[in-house]
Amino acid sequence: MTDHTQPQQPYYPPRPPYEPVRPITTEPGTTVWPSGFGGGHTPPPAGPSYATAGPAPAAGPTPVSRRRAKRGVGLMAAVAIAAAAIGGGTATLVQQLTAQDAPVTASSVVSGTNVSASSAGTVAGVAEAVSPSIVEISASSTSGKSTGSGVIITDDGEIVTNNHVISGASDITVRTSDGKTYRAEVVGKDPDKDLALIKLQGASGLKAATLGDSSKVKVGDEVVAIGSPEGLTGTVTSGIVSALDRDVTVAKDAEEDSGGQDGQQRWDPRQGWPFEFGGQEFNGDTGSSKTTYKALQTDASLNPGNSGGALINMNGEIIGINSAMYAPSSSSGSTAGSVGLGFAIPVDTLKADLDTLRSGGRS
């Protein structure tokens, strides 16, 4: 039996009322999809799927896929914004941590001194920092006039020097590094240690030196000497500590070692204060009244007028008060400069004697 049923004709859906969305190609390899459906129409409702025997109409992305795409773009934007926020926060946190963990820069000055950090350990740095604390002392007496040096230890004008610089003086004038001059009075002196303390009249705001620790000084340490040799204020020399605990013998007082008419001293002030070392006398006869102390030996050049000045370590701390130097004489009687044999009273001796000096000292 033959089935005469007519085959069913295929069904074609009607043409959509809008133009399908097509990609926009701007340049090779770059494709941009339109932001909405063509013509601004809303997409057709979803319907059943039909199998067709004919060609299928061109189709754009379904509404569902576009909504997912929008969500994807929105998610990506949110992630980007979050990342930016986190990134900014991270950068801020890193900056804060970096600021907190940044190494502390060196102080502009070395602790306890006025030596700049960039100049620490240099002769120039020490000279710049300590020179304002070193003064020139002119002492007048019936025997004449002598020149020495001193170290400011208080901002109101207490100055330490050698006893032999001011011994027997009737008038003392002090000139500071800025050229100002002051009258000074003797506060106290200790001839046994060849130390004296004087005080400027009407002084204030001076730059006091920092007293160091001479017990830590070692042979070979670099040092700087500042003083007024031959009246040349603020002269700077340098060298090393060449020996420790040298027994140096000096005269106690100029009055006790003067002789001849009109109080003419037997020693020549151009040769420096007379002293003994190693059983020999230098720069003249020390006389009958003398004292011996332990001294730092240095090869930093010392000349007449350096007495009472400072011997300084490379941190700008006073480690000694320059007190004696060897200056050989030629047959003509003229003097030579330093030959690398100078001595300084350790600053620890000075610190231990300050109370005595301030109370008038020993006679």
Known catalytic residues are 164, 194, 307
Residue ranges of alpha helices (H) inside the chain are: 63-101, 123-130, 163-166, 347-358
Torsion angles phi and psi, residue 198, rounded to 5: -120, 165
Query: CB-based contacts of 316: which residues, under 8 Å, 6+ apart?
Result: 110, 113, 114, 115, 125, 126, 129, 130, 210
Tokens of 3: 């089935």
- 301-312: b (≥16 Cβ within 10 Å) or e: bbbbbbbbbbbb
C-alpha distances out from residue 346 to 23, 125, 219, 304, Å: 95, 22, 14, 19
Half-sphere exposure of 37 (CA within 13 A, CB side): 18
